[in-house]
Amino acid sequence: MTVVTDAATARVYQAHARPAWRRLLLTRETAIIALLIVVIVVALASVRNFDSPLTVTYLLRDIAPILLIALPMTLIIITEEIDLSVASIVGLSSVMTGILTQAGLPFPLAAALAVVVGAVAGAFNGFLVTVVGLPSLAVTIGTLALFRGIAVGLLGTTAITGFPEEWTDLAKANIPGTPVPMIMIVFVILAVVFAVLLHFTPFGRSLYAIGLNKEAAHFSGIDVGRAKFTLFVLSGAVSGFAGVYFTLLYSNARGDNAMGMELQVIAAVLLGGVSIFGGRGALHGVIAGVLLIGTLGSALRLAGITSDIINVITGVLLVLSVVSASLLAWLHQRRSAAVGRRRGRRSAEGGAAGDETHNHASTSHQGRKQR
Amino acid sequence: MAFDADTPGPPHALELKRVVKSFGPVVALRSGSLTLDRGSIHALIGENGAGKSTLVKIIAGLYRRDAGDLLLEGESVDFTSTAQSKAAGIAVIYQEPTLFPDLSVTENIFMGRQPTNRFGRIDRKAMRTEAVEIFGRLGVALDPDRVTEGLSIADQQIIEIAKAISLDARVLIMDEPTAALSGVEVERLFAVARSLRDEGRALLFISHRFDEVFALCDTVTVMRDGSYVETTPIAETTVDELVRQMVGRDVTEMFPKQPAAIGDVVLQVEGLTRTGVFRDISFTLRRGEIVGLAGLVGAGRSEVARAVFGVDTYESGRVVLDGAVLRKGDPRAATARGIALVPEDRRKQGLVLDDGVARNITLTIRSKLARWGLIWNRLENEAARVWASRLEVKTAALDAEAGTLSGGNQQKVVLGKWLATEPIVLIVDEPTRGIDVGTKAEVHRLLSELAQQGIAILMISSELPEVLGMADRVLVMREGRLTAELPRAEATPEAVMFAATAPAEAAA
Amino acid sequence: MSATLTPVQPGTSGASRIVRRIATARETGIAVALVLVIVAATASNPTFLFSSDGFRDLLLTPSLLLLVAVGQAFVIITRSVDLSVGSVVGLTAYLTGRLFIDIPGIPIIVVFAAGVLLGGLLGAVNGVLVAWAKVPALVITLGTMYIYRGINVAWTGSDRINASDLPRDFRGLGTEHLLGIPILTIIALVVLIAAAWYLRNIRGGRELYAIGSDPDAAHLYGLRVSRRIITAFVVSGALAGLAGVLYAARYGTVSSAAGFGWELQAIGAAVIGGVAISGGVGTVWGAAIGAFLLLTINRALPILGIDDFWQRAVVGVLILGSIVLDRLLAVRQHRRLIAQREVDR
Over the stretch B132-158, which tens digit does the pLDDT of each residue have? 999 888 878 888 998 898 888 888 888
Report whether B161 contacts B167 (CB < 8 A).
no
Average of pLDDT values for A29-33?
A: 90
pLDDT higher than 80, residue C338: no
Torsion of the alpha carbons at A37, A41, A47 and A50, rounded to the nearest 10? 70
Looking at per-residue confidence, does B386 or A20 come out higher?
B386
Mean pLDDT highest for which of A326-330, B297-301, C161-165? C161-165
Report whether B110 contacts C197 (CB < 8 A).
no
Supply the pLDDT for residue A343.
57
Supply the pLDDT for residue A360.
30
Looking at per-residue confidence, does B318 or C159 come out higher?
B318
Report whether C93 contacts C247 (CB < 8 A).
yes
pLDDT higher than 80, residue A361: no
Model pLDDT for residues C29-61, shown as the tens digit of each residue: 889 989 988 888 888 888 787 777 777 778 888
pLDDT higher than 80, residue C341: no
Average of pLDDT values for C294-298?
A: 89
H or E element in which residue A123 lies: helix A107-126
pLDDT higher than 60, residue A370: no
Supply the pLDDT for residue B284.
94
Q: How far is A209 from chain B (nearest CA, A)?
A: 7
Comparing alpha-carbon positions, the chain B residue that sits nearest to A14 is B397
Closest Cβ opposite residue C3 in set B120, B136, B152: B136
CA–CA dist B360, B373 (Å, integer)? 19
Question: What value does the CA radius of gyration of chain A take, rounded to a whole number of Å?
Answer: 24
Closest Cβ opposite residue A369 in set C79, C144, C320: C79
Give the 3-state secondary structure of A67-121.
HHHHHHHHHHHHCCCCCCCHHHHHHHHHHHHHHHHHCCCCHHHHHHHHHHHHHHH
Domains and CATH numbers, chain A: 26-329 (1.10.3470)
The interface predicted TM-score of the complex, written ipTM, equals 0.86
Supply the pLDDT for residue B495.
82
Q: Which of the four pLDDT bands, split at 50, 70 and 90, describes residue B251?
A: very low
pLDDT higher than 60, residue B271: yes
CA–CA dist C262, C295 (Å, integer)? 11
Q: Does A157 touch chain B (CB under 8 A)?
A: no
Supply the pLDDT for residue A288.
95
Interface touch C217/B98, C-beta < 8 Å: yes
Residues forming beta bridges with residue B45, ordered by sequence position: B222
Give the three-state DSSP class for C108.
Answer: helix
Question: What value does the CA radius of gyration of chain C take, rounded to a whole number of Å?
Answer: 22
Q: Does A337 touch chain B (CB under 8 A)?
A: yes
Residue B308: its chain A contacts at CB < 8 A?
Answer: none
Looking at per-residue confidence, does B4 or C220 come out higher?
C220
Supply the pLDDT for residue B253.
45
Supply the pLDDT for residue A363.
32
Supply the pLDDT for residue A351.
34
Supply the pLDDT for residue A371.
27
CA–CA dist B348, B367 (Å, integer)? 23
CA–CA dist B464, B447 (Å, integer)? 17
Supply the pLDDT for residue B167.
86
C52-77 vs C262-272: helix crossing angle, rounded to 10: 80
Interface touch A201/B373, C-beta < 8 Å: yes
Residue A209: its chain B contacts at CB < 8 A?
Answer: 352, 355, 359, 363
B96, B111, B135, B160: best to mutate for the C interface, most C CBs within 10 A: B111
pLDDT higher than 70, residue B437: yes
Q: Which of the four pLDDT bands, split at 50, 70 and 90, describes residue A7?
A: very low
Comparing alpha-carbon positions, the chain B residue that sits nearest to A210 is B352
pTM of the model: 0.85
The mean of the pLDDT values for chain A is 85
Report whether B183 contacts B501 (CB < 8 A).
yes
H or E element in which residue B29 lies: strand B26-36
Model pLDDT for residues A164-198, shown as the tens digit of each residue: 888 988 888 888 888 899 999 999 999 999 999 99
A131, A141, A321: best to mutate for the C interface, most C CBs within 10 A: A141
Closest Cβ opposite residue A364 in set B66, B390, B403: B403
If we measure between CA atoms, which residue out of B505, B494, B497, B506 comes closest to residue B476?
B497
Query: What share of chain B has pLDDT > 90, as a percent?
Result: 44
Supply the pLDDT for residue C90.
95
Looking at per-residue confidence, does B211 or A244 come out higher?
A244
CA–CA dist C16, C19 (Å, integer)? 5
Model pLDDT for residues C164-201, shown as the tens digit of each residue: 888 888 888 888 888 878 899 999 999 999 999 999 99
Looking at per-residue confidence, does C290 or C134 come out higher?
C290
pLDDT higher than 60, residue C99: yes
Model pLDDT for residues B349-379, shown as the tens digit of each residue: 999 998 999 999 999 999 989 999 999 999 9
Residue A158: its chain C contacts at CB < 8 A?
Answer: none
> Which amino acid would we find at residue A316?
V
Comparing alpha-carbon positions, the chain A residue that sits nearest to C215 is A367
Interface touch B399/A218, C-beta < 8 Å: no
CA–CA dist B150, B168 (Å, integer)? 27
pLDDT higher than 60, residue A354: no
Q: How far is C161 from chain A (nearest CA, A)?
A: 19
Neighbours of B504 (CB within 10 A): 14
Looking at per-residue confidence, does A52 or A139 come out higher?
A139
Looking at per-residue confidence, does B410 or B298 come out higher?
B410
Task: Please report all neighbours of B, defined by 3+ CB atom pairs within 8 A.
Answer: A, C
Residue B397: its chain A contacts at CB < 8 A?
Answer: 13-17
Supply the pLDDT for residue A121.
97
Looking at per-residue confidence, does B113 or A193 come out higher?
A193
Supply the pLDDT for residue B505.
41
Supply the pLDDT for residue C48.
80
pLDDT higher than 60, residue A347: no
pLDDT higher than 50, residue B34: yes
Q: Which of the four pLDDT bands, split at 50, 70 and 90, describes residue B297?
A: low
Interface touch C80/A144, C-beta < 8 Å: no
Comparing alpha-carbon positions, the chain A residue that sits nearest to C157 is A308
Q: How far is A80 from chain C (nearest CA, A)?
A: 12
CA–CA dist A240, A66 (Å, integer)? 12
Average of pLDDT values for A276-297?
A: 92
Closest Cβ opposite residue A315 in set C130, C147, C267: C147
Residue B373: its chain A contacts at CB < 8 A?
Answer: 201-202
Interface touch C312/A156, C-beta < 8 Å: no
Which residues 197-216 of chain A have a CB within 8 Å of chain B?
Answer: 200-202, 205-206, 208-209, 212-213, 215-216
Q: How far is C234 from chain B (nearest CA, A)?
A: 21
B56, B62, B100: best to mutate for the C interface, most C CBs within 10 A: B100
Model pLDDT for residues A56-115, shown as the tens digit of each residue: 899 999 999 999 999 999 999 999 999 999 999 999 999 999 999 999 899 999 999 999
Domains and CATH numbers, chain B: 14-99+165-247 (3.40.50.300), 103-150 (no CATH), 252-338+424-508 (3.40.50.300), 350-422 (no CATH)
CA–CA dist A31, C111 (Å, integer)? 45
Average of pLDDT values for B440-463?
A: 91
Query: What share of chain B has pLDDT > 70, as a percent?
Result: 93
Q: How far is B185 from chain C (nearest CA, A)?
A: 10
